[in-house]
A and B are shown apart, each in its own frame.
Chain A
Amino acid sequence: MLSNVSKTFLSNIRKCNYWNATIRQMSAEKPIENSIKNKMTTNLVPSYLDVMNESYMHNVPPESETHFKIVIVSEHFFNLPNLKRHQLIYNLLKDELQNGVHALSIVAKTSQEWDAMDKNIGPSPNCRGGFGK
């Protein structure tokens, strides 16, 4: 049977683990993902936004923020060809792209296009080992 002291000790460890896990889930651990979300929201006022961290699909350490996919619906894309929509987003995310973001897959639609399309957006292709080499 465990003494009271060791019981308290164990429960403290459990609390510690709980808080560590909670802190890990908090935004501070995803600075780039959050900054992408912020910039998209402020500049493009999207009616739909999904920022996916796809880094786990690649040859990078766990919890990396290197590969992202953005699905964004905004009226700012009206009358802009696809190329210009991508460039608009790339320009907004210049800092992120120069500081660690290595791949950025983009689906950029107006709400009219978004309503008309099937929303089945597959994952980006898997890595083939070229990263960092």
Chain B
Amino acid sequence: MNILTRSIFSKPTLIRRLFSAETNEKIKDLVTKSKVVLFMKGVPEQPRCGFSNAVVQILRMHGVKYDAYNVLENEALRQGIKDFSNWPTIPQLYINGEFVGGCDILLNMHQNGELIETLEKVGINSALKQNNEPSK
């Protein structure tokens, strides 16, 4: 390997930056296209990672409709979303264009009721909230 190619390959951040501007624009479009957007491994019907599956199950319990993007099918997206959110792992959830967090955070929000509130703020009625109301 000559010096030139070695120096290119040894600078992954440089290469990443070259095409990240375009990816960033695309991701910005994706996260604002729907109220709830999930970046995951696999698809909701067949998640390919336990953490992604946990998020899918939580969203299912709340009866939330969402866009899901499979990062395993798109390497640029897989790296791009990590840079975009400043978050090194998948899954990642966006609500109303804002980054909410990964599996741990969503599980937390689910357990302490925060998720119902967050969804309500953007006009989504959680199925769990409707179930709770008659008993109040």
A residues within 8 Å of B by Cβ? 82-83, 86-87, 90, 94, 97-98, 102-107, 124-131, 133
**What 1/0 flags go to B77-103 for Cβ under 8 Å of A?**
000000000111100000000011111
Our pick among B52, B54, B104 for the contact of A106 (Cβ within 8 Å) is B104
A to B contact number (C-beta, < 8 Å): 60
Beta-carbon nearest neighbor of B40 in chain A: A130
Indicate if the CB atoms of A127 and B105 lie closer than 8 Å: no
Within 8 A of A (CB), among B10-57: 41-42, 47-54
B contact residues around A129 at 8 Å (CB): 48
Complex CA gap A99/B129 in Å reads 42
Indicate if the CB atoms of A126 and B50 lie closer than 8 Å: yes
Indicate if the CB atoms of B105 and A130 lie closer than 8 Å: no
A110 to chain B, nearest CB (A): 14
B contact residues around A130 at 8 Å (CB): 41-42, 47-49, 52, 72
- Say yes or no: A105-B101 contact (C-beta < 8 A), given A90-B87, A125-B51, A130-B48: no
B residues within 8 Å of A by Cβ? 41-42, 47-54, 72, 86-89, 99-105, 108
B contact residues around A133 at 8 Å (CB): 48, 72
Beta-carbon nearest neighbor of A87 in chain B: B86
Indicate if the CB atoms of A82 and B51 lie closer than 8 Å: no
Our pick among A105, A107, A128 for the contact of B53 (Cβ within 8 Å) is A128
A contact residues around B99 at 8 Å (CB): 83
B contact residues around A86 at 8 Å (CB): 87, 101-102, 104-105
B50 to chain A, nearest CB (A): 3
Indicate if the CB atoms of A82 and B49 lie closer than 8 Å: no
Indicate if the CB atoms of B101 and A125 lie closer than 8 Å: no
B contact residues around A97 at 8 Å (CB): 88-89
A contact residues around B50 at 8 Å (CB): 124-128
- Say yes or no: A103-B105 contact (C-beta < 8 A), given A125-B54, A130-B42, A130-B52: no
A contact residues around B86 at 8 Å (CB): 87
Indicate if the CB atoms of A82 and B105 lie closer than 8 Å: yes
Our pick among A83, A102, A127, A131 for the contact of B101 (Cβ within 8 Å) is A83
Complex CA gap A103/B50 in Å reads 11
Q: Most B CB atoms within 10 A — which of A107, A125, A133? A: A125
Complex CA gap A21/B123 in Å reads 59
